[in-house]
């Protein structure tokens, strides 16, 4: 048997072929199916991967959520903490504020107390000074009073005696000036000085000052050059205080001048609102550094060892007075040439009503002419003062003097003896002079008798109080014999005509 070499060893019949074909088809389908399976598997893998991703995503987002919630929690915790802290701060701040308020309250109370204490201390100082002034004036009254009597007595004194006596008198009046200045300063500083401001005709005041100061100038050989104010110029001021200020400046210009120097006084109107009075001396002058200290109390600019008396208070008082009246004070000085002080006072129109007292032209004349015996009752507890007035009266034979040591005795003697005039001390044992006056006023028998107060209580307020109580006049100790006689004669005059 030979085989066709080209013939495959195996041949398929038709059925086989079909079989073979179907097998191929089967194979192809299988391949395809297998591919499909692979695809599906791949797909599944993808899906799985996606799922994993998703799961991861979910996990991440959950983590994020957790983180976020944790962050939120943390943030809210932070917030809470901050709030708590803020709250704590607020509580602390509130407590601090309360503490501060309490402290402020305490400080307020303390301030009030301090103020009260200062006021008390000021009042005590004021009372002390007025008391001291009274205590100093009382012995000074005897010293100056008897010295004045010696001066006018007979037989006349020898020259040596007279020189010594003049020293006593000069020092006595000087001591009185000191007392007055200290008292003035105390009153100004306590804010108790009451000014009575009114239109003041300056030419009048200047003339009065000139009359008072010229004897002093003549003693020192000082030439006075007075350029008076226009006779229509009024200042709005306290007349007494203007006079005090001018006298102080004028006497300084004399004191601190050279021998045979000059003092020029001038009156100008630098502005329409003010009138200026300037006082120029030809003294040594002051360097700038001393000018600055001029208005300080108790600063005598190195004059302590010098010949000139003074407390160094005068200019301080002067400045305060001028300023209290709404004016100002100034000074210019050139060493070796002299100093010029000026004061500016508020200018005022003429007063609308002339308010002149209608006193008799010469109050003493009538009493002097009348030689009928007059009776004076002096109510005084101080023996030296009693003796002084007794001896002054001795020089006037038409007056006889009765005396009483206290107010009760005084009013009893007044009722019994009906004196023409009563001289009444204020500080008396038992009832005061003011109370005694009240008794005299209430009794129709004694109501008409003029009563003159004579007291060492010399503050302006004391005088005011005395005059308001109804005294005919108020004399302060130490007395000037001439002024005392003038007041007494005036009272006698009124008593006679009444
Ligand atoms: Mn007395």
Beta-bridge mates of residue 332: 340
| Alpha helices in 418-459, H assignment, sequence order | 433-442
Residue with the two structure tokens 């010594």: 164
Q: How far apart are CA 167 and CA 146, in angstroms?
A: 14
Task: Give the Å distance between the CA of 380 and the centre of ligand 1.
Answer: 6
* Residue 250 to residue 224: CA distance in whole angstroms: 10
Rounded distance from Cα 474 to ligand 1 centre (Å) = 14
State in Å: Cα 97 to ligand 1 middle.
61
Region class of 13: left (phi > 0), else alpha (psi between -120 and 50), else beta: beta
CA separation for the pair 423, 416 (Å, rounded): 16
| 281 contact partners, CB below 8 Å, separation of at least 6 | 252, 253, 254, 256, 257, 261, 262, 263, 338, 339, 340
Average per-residue pLDDT in the chain?
83
What is the Å distance from ligand 1's center to 128 Cα? 17
Mean pLDDT of 420-427: 95
Separation of 406 CA from ligand 1 center, angstroms? 9
135 C-alpha to ligand 1 centroid (Å): 10
* Cα-based distances in Å from 433 to 66, 130, 369, 458, 492: 105, 18, 31, 14, 20
Distance CA(54)–CA(15), nearest Å, equals 55
Confidence of residue 42 (pLDDT cuts 50, 70, 90): confident
Cβ atoms within 10 Å, residue 72:
10
Ligand 1 center to 468 CA (angstroms) = 20
Kindly give the distance from the C-alpha atom of residue 424 to the centroid of ligand 1, in angstroms, as a whole number: 9
pLDDT score at 2? 43
Distance of CA 162 from the midpoint of ligand 1 (Å): 31
- Rounded to the nearest angstrom, the distance between the alpha carbon of 423 and the centre of ligand 1 is 12
Give residue 304 CA to ligand 1 midpoint distance, Å. 36
Tokens of 70: 């944790």
Cβ neighbours around 18 below 10 Å, total: 11
Q: Rounded to the nearest whole angstrom, what is the distance from the C-alpha of residue 427 to the centroid of ligand 1?
A: 4
138 CA from centroid of ligand 1 (Å): 8
pLDDT of residue 350: 65
pLDDT of residue 420: 95
| CATH domain 196-346 topology | Heat Shock Protein 90 (3.30.565)
Tell me the CA–centroid distance for residue 455 and ligand 1, in Å. Answer: 7
Helices in 330-470 by DSSP H: which ranges? 363-369, 383-394, 407-417, 433-442, 460-469
Confidence of residue 123 (pLDDT cuts 50, 70, 90): confident
How far does the centroid of ligand 1 lie from the alpha carbon of residue 456, in Å?
8
In the chain, where the domains are located: 196-346, 363-497
Centroid of ligand 1 to alpha carbon of 430 (angstroms): 11
Distances (CA, A) of 220 to 93, 152, 241, 385, 456: 76, 24, 26, 34, 33
The span from the CA of 59 to the CA of 70, in Å, is 16
Strands 274-281 and 328-334: unpaired
Residue with tokens 């009048």, as numbered in its chain: 204
Helical packing angle, 314-324 and 239-255, nearest 10°: 150
- Residue 279 to residue 248: CA distance in whole angstroms: 11
Q: Is there a contact between 446 and 411 (Cβ–Cβ < 8 Å)?
A: yes
Provide the residues around ligand 1 (an ion) whose CB is within 5 A. 381, 425, 427
**Euclidean distance between CA atoms 375 and 372, whole angstroms:** 10
CB atoms within 10 A of CB 183: 20
Strand arrangement of the beta sheet that strand 473-476 belongs to = 399-404, 374-379, 421-424, 451-455, 473-476
**pLDDT digits 0-9 by tens, 207-243:** 989 888 888 888 889 998 888 888 888 999 998 899 9
d(CA 458, CA 180): 9
The three-class DSSP label of residue 473 is strand
Question: Does residue 295 sit in helix, strand or coil?
Answer: coil
Q: What is the pLDDT of residue 177?
A: 80
The rounded Å distance from CA 428 to ligand 1 centre is 5
Q: Give the H/E segment covering residue 269.
A: strand 262-271
Tell me: pLDDT of 248 over 80.
Answer: yes
Ligand 1 center from residue 237 Cα (angstroms)? 35
**pLDDT tens readout for residues 339-388:** 999 999 999 876 644 333 333 334 444 444 446 889 999 999 988 899 99
- C-alpha distance from residue 190 to each of 44, 131, 186, 365 (Å): 112, 15, 6, 43
- Can you tell me the distance from the alpha carbon of 59 to that of 402, in angstroms, rounded to the nearest whole number? 130
Helices 14-152 and 481-497 cross at an angle (nearest 10°) of 80
CA distance 333 to 445: 64
Q: Is the pLDDT of residue 310 over 70?
A: no
Q: Are 351 and 234 in contact (CB under 8 A)?
A: yes
Measured in Å, residue 378 CA sits from the centre of ligand 1 at 11
Nearest-angstrom CA–CA distance, 442 and 440:
6
The per-residue pLDDT for 176 is 87
How does 388-417 read in b/e, with b if 16+ C-beta sit within 10 Å? Answer: bbeebbeebeebebbbbbbbbebbebbeee
pLDDT at 53 over 90: no
pLDDT at residue 134 is higher than 50: yes
pLDDT tens, residue by residue, 453-495: 999 888 888 888 999 999 999 999 899 999 999 999 999 998 8
CATH class given for the domain over 363-497: alpha beta
In angstroms, what is the span from residue 209 Cα to ligand 1's centroid? 33
Per-residue pLDDT tens over the stretch 56-100: 777 777 777 777 777 778 878 888 888 888 888 899 999 999 999
Read off the tokens for 288: 């700038």
| Residue 311: predicted pLDDT | 54
């Amino acid at each position: 048997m030979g085989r066709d070499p080209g013939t495959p060893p195996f041949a398929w019949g038709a059925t086989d072929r079909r079989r073979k074909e179907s097998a191929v088809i089967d194979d192809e389908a299988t391949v395809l199916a297998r591919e499909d399976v692979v695809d599906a598997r791949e797909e599944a893998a993808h899906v799985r991967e996606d799922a994993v991703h998703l799961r991861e995503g979910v996990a991440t987002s959950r983590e994020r959520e957790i983180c976020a919630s944790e962050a939120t929690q943390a943030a809210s915790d932070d917030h809470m903490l901050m709030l708590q802290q803020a709250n704590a701060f607020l509580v602390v701040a509130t407590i601090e504020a309360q503490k501060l308020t309490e402290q402020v309250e305490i400080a307020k109370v303390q301030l009030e107390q301090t103020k009260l204490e200062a006021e008390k201390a000021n009042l005590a100082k004021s009372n002390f000074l007025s008391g001291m002034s009274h205590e100093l004036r009382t012995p000074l009254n005897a010293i100056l009073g008897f010295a004045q009597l010696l001066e006018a007595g007979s037989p006349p004194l020898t020259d040596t005696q007279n020189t010594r006596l003049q020293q006593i008198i000069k020092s006595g009046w000087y001591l009185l000036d000191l007392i007055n200045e200290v008292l003035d300063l105390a009153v100004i500083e306590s804010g108790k000085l009451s000014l009575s401001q009114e239109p003041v005709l300056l030419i009048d005041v200047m003339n009065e000052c000139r009359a008072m100061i010229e004897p002093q100038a003549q003693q020192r050989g000082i030439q006075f050059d007075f350029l008076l104010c226009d006779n229509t110029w009024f200042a709005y001021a306290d007349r007494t205080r203007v006079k005090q200020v001018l006298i102080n400046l004028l006497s300084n210009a004399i004191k601190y001048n050279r021998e045979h120097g000059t003092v020029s006084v001038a009156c100008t109107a630098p502005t329409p609102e003010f009138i200026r009075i300037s006082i120029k001396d030809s003294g040594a002058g002051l360097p700038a550094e001393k000018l600055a200290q001029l208005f300080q109390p108790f600063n005598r600019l190195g004059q302590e060892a010098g010949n000139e008396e003074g407390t160094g208070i005068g200019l301080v008082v002067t400045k305060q007075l001028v300023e209290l009246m709404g004016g100002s004070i100034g000074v210019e000085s050139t060493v070796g040439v002299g100093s010029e002080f000026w004061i500016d006072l508020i200018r005022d129109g003429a007063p609308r009503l002339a308010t002149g007292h209608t006193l008799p032209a010469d109050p003493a004349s009538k009493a002097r002419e009348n030689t009928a015996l007059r009776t004076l009752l002096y109510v005084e507890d101080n023996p030296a003062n009693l003796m002084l007035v007794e001896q002054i009266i001795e020089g006037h034979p038409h007056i006889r003097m009765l005396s009483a040591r206290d107010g009760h005795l005084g009013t009893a003697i007044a009722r019994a003896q009906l004196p023409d005039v009563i001289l009444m001390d204020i500080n008396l044992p038992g009832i005061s002079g003011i109370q005694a006056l009240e008794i005299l006023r209430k009794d129709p028998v004694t109501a008409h008798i003029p009563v003159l107060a004579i007291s060492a209580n010399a503050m302006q307020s004391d005088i005011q109080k005395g005059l308001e109580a109804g005294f005919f006049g108020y004399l302060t100790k130490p007395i000037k014999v001439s002024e005392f006689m003038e007041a007494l004669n005036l009272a006698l005059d009124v008593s006679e005509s009444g």
